[in-house]
Structure 1
Amino acid sequence: MTTSRPFGRALCAMITPFTDAGELDLDGARNLADHLVAEGCDGLVLNGTTGESPTTSDAEKTALVRAVVEAVGNRASVVAGVGSADTRHTVELAQAAEAAGADGVLVVTPYYSRPPQTAVEAHFRRVADAVGIPLMLYDIPGRTGTRIEPDTLMRLAGHPRIVAVKDCAYDLLGSTKVIARTSLAYYSGSEELNLPLYAVGGAGFVSTVANVAPRQLRAALDAYDAGQVAEAARLNQLTAPLAELMMASGLPGTVTVKALIDAGPVREPLQPAGREATDVLRRAYEELLASTSSPSGV
C-alpha cells in the first residue's frame, strides 16, 4: 500500500452558483472557490451532482472549470466531474475539462443501464486512455445502480492515469482491501466515514458539507495526522449533527448547502428548502460554528 494524495486531502464537492435569474454565476464561483481554499480546502471538485451537473450544459461546465482554475491557481487542485451514462459523451467532457485546465477528472459509473463489470471496466479505461490527466473513479451504487467491485478496482489500479476513488459504496471492508492491495487514493464521499476511512489508509474526503464547514471537517484530519486520535474523534463528532441534517434529511445536499449560503437558486427539478427545514439547518450550523470557535474547538 502506498498512501498518496494526488488531489490533496480536504476536497469540497463545490456547488455551482447561479444568478437570481438562474444563469451561471462565474463571479460567484470564483469567490466561493477562493473562500473555500482560504478556509482549508486543498482541492475542489466541480460539476458533480452537488454542482447540479444534470442541469448544466457542456459549455457551462467548461466555463466553470476555467473560472475556478483561474481563481485558485496552484493553491488547490481542480477536479472536474465528467460522468455520464454515455462513454462517448464522458470522453468528450473529460477532454474539454483537460483543455480548460482541470488537474483531474471525476468519472462516475455509468448509471441506469447497469452495465456488467467488464463493461464498467472498459468504460473507465476508455476515458483514461483519452486524456493526459489523472482520473478519480466515483463508486456510488446507491445512485448509479452498479457497484465498482473491489476486484474491478484492483485491475483498474494498474492503469497509470487511474489514481483515486471517491468512495460512497458503504463497504469499509471492501475499501480496506483495495487500499491494502493497490496504490489507489481513497477519498470518502460520505461525511460519516471521513475519519474511519482515513484511519484505514484513506487519502481524505470529497465533501458536500465542506461548502459550509471546510475548516471544521479538515480539523479532524489534521488532529489525526498529529497523532491526536481522541481529539480527531471529538472534532469529527462536532460536525456529525450538521452533516446528518444536510445529507440524510431527505433533501439533496445541493439544496441544503444553498439554504445556508448565498449562491443563488437551484435548478429544476430541485426545489429550494422550505422555511422550517432552513431554520433547522441554520440552528445546527450556528451551533457548529459556536462549538468550534472556542479555545477548545477548532
Structure 2
Amino acid sequence: MAPSTTPDAPFGRLLTAMVTPMFADGSVDYDGAARLAVHLVDDQRHDGLVINGTTGESPTTTDDEKERVLRAVVEAVGDRASIVFGAGSNDTRHSIELARMAEAAGAHGLLTVCPYYNKPPQEGVYRHMTAIADSTGLPVMLYDIPGRAGIPIETPTLLRLAEHPRITAVKDAKGDLFAASQVMAATDLVFYSGDDVLNLAWLSQGAAGFVSVVGHVVGSDLHEMIDLYRSGDVAGALALHRRMLPVVTAIMTRTQGVIATKAALNLLGLPGGTVRAPLVDAAPEFTARLREDLITGGIKVEATE
C-alpha cells in the first residue's frame, strides 16, 4: 500500500494535480518540481500528488520530461505521499508505454483519462482502460472529464471497468452526482472530486476526497474540510467551503486552471513559472485581481513593491 492511503481512500484523501514548474525560457524546472512537491506534502497536508495531468501541461511535455519530473517528485516525497502518474492519452499503445515507465520510476498509481479528440465508442473506452490496467501492477484511477475528452465514461462502462482488480477509483469531472451515486452503490469504485467547485457536494455523495487544483494554495483548508465533514461537523466544513469561494472562483472560473495556478504560485514565491504555448501566461490585470481574491480567501500574499 502506498503512503497515506486506506482501503476506502486508496490514493489518500487530498491530492493535487501538480503543475510542472518551468523557467522563463519554457524549460522544465526539475528542482522546482521537487521543492513544490515538498511544500504541498509537508506544508499543505497533501496525502498524494498527481504528476503529468492536464494541470501538469501533459499535452506539451515530452516523455523524457514527464519521467524526469516523476522521478524528482518520487525522490522528494514518495516515501510519505501517494504519487499518481497521468499515463492517459488518446493512443492506447503510448499510454501503455507511459504506464510501464511510471511503474519503473516508482509511481504508486496511474491516472488514465478518457481518450480525447478521437472519441472512441464506449467499447473502445473500455478496452483502452483495461489494456492500461493490464500493463502494470499499479492501481488505476479513471479520469472522467467529458469537457476535455469530448465523451464521458458512461455508467454501464464504469460498471464493467469496476470488475477489473486494479481499477479502483474515479476522478470525476463530469459532475453527475446522481449517476456517480448509482455507481458507488453498485461497485467498490472509490470516487474523488475532480472539480473544485463541487468538492463539498462530492463529500455528501460519498466521495473519498479530492484531486484538486486549488489545493496548490489552500491544501490545508481542503484537508481540514474533509476532516470536518467526515467527523460529522458539516457546519464547519460548510464554513470552510464558503471561505475558500474567492480562491476557487479566481483559479477555476476565469481562465485555464494551470495559467491561474502558476500565477498564484508566482505571487506566493513558490515554483511555478511560465506556461507553454498554446497556453499564455496570466495578464497583469488578471494577476492583480487574483492577488485580491487570494487575500480575500485568507491567503497571505506579499505586498507589491
Q: Is the 8 A contact 1:107 1:137 kept in 2?
A: yes
Q: Work out which of the residue numbers 21, 25, 28 in structure 1 matches 2:25.
A: 21
* Root-mean-square deviation (Å): 1.3
Q: What SS does the corresponding residue of 1:212 show, helix, strand or coil? A: helix
Q: Which amino acid aligns with 1:223?
A: L
Counterpart check, 1:65 vs 2:74: no
How much has 1:248 moved relative to structure 2? 1.2
Q: Work out which of the residue numbers 247, 255, 258 in structure 1 matches 2:259.
A: 255
Given the two structures, how large is their TM-score scaled by the length of structure 2? 0.92
Q: Work out which of the residue numbers 33, 39, 42 in structure 1 matches 2:37.
A: 33
Aligned equivalent of 2:295 = 286
Counterpart check, 1:121 vs 2:126: yes
Q: Is the 8 A contact 1:4 1:183 kept in 2?
A: no
- Distance between the aligned counterparts of 2:221 and 2:206, measured in 1? 21
- Distance between the aligned counterparts of 2:32 and 2:110, measured in 1? 22
Mapping 1:41-56, distance limit 5 Å: 41-56=46-61
Q: Which amino acid aligns with 1:191?
A: D
Given the two structures, how large is their TM-score scaled by the length of structure 1? 0.94
- Distance between the aligned counterparts of 2:99 and 2:165, measured in 1? 16
Q: Is the 8 A contact 2:245 2:297 kept in 1?
A: no
How much has 1:237 moved relative to structure 2? 1.3
Q: Percent identity?
A: 51
Q: Which amino acid aligns with 1:267?
A: R
Q: What SS does the corresponding residue of 2:143 show, helix, strand or coil? A: strand
Any stretches of 5+ residues in structure 2 without a counterpart? 1-5, 267-271, 301-305
Q: Work out which of the residue numbers 201, 211, 215 in structure 2 matches 1:210.
A: 215
- Distance between the aligned counterparts of 2:17 and 2:114, measured in 1? 17
Q: Is the 8 A contact 1:3 1:202 kept in 2?
A: no
Q: Which amino acid aligns with 2:9?
A: R
Aligned equivalent of 1:180 = 185
Aligned equivalent of 2:3 = none
- Distance between the aligned counterparts of 2:218 and 2:104, measured in 1? 31
Q: Which amino acid aligns with 1:252?
A: Q
Q: Which amino acid aligns with 2:40?
A: L
Counterpart check, 1:199 vs 2:204: yes
How much has 1:195 moved relative to structure 2? 1.4
- Distance between the aligned counterparts of 1:67 and 1:204, measured in 2? 25
Any stretches of 5+ residues in structure 1 without a counterpart? 292-298
- Distance between the aligned counterparts of 2:211 and 2:121, measured in 1? 26
- Distance between the aligned counterparts of 2:122 and 2:185, measured in 1? 21
Q: What SS does the corresponding residue of 2:244 show, helix, strand or coil? A: helix
Q: What SS does the corresponding residue of 1:80 show, helix, strand or coil? A: strand
How much has 1:68 moved relative to structure 2? 0.2
Task: Provide, for residues 11-60 of structure 1, a one-character-per-residue CA deviation record: whole Å limited to 9, x for no partner.
Answer: 01100001222111111001000000011110100101100001100011
- Distance between the aligned counterparts of 1:182 and 1:15, measured in 2? 32
How many pairs were matched up? 289
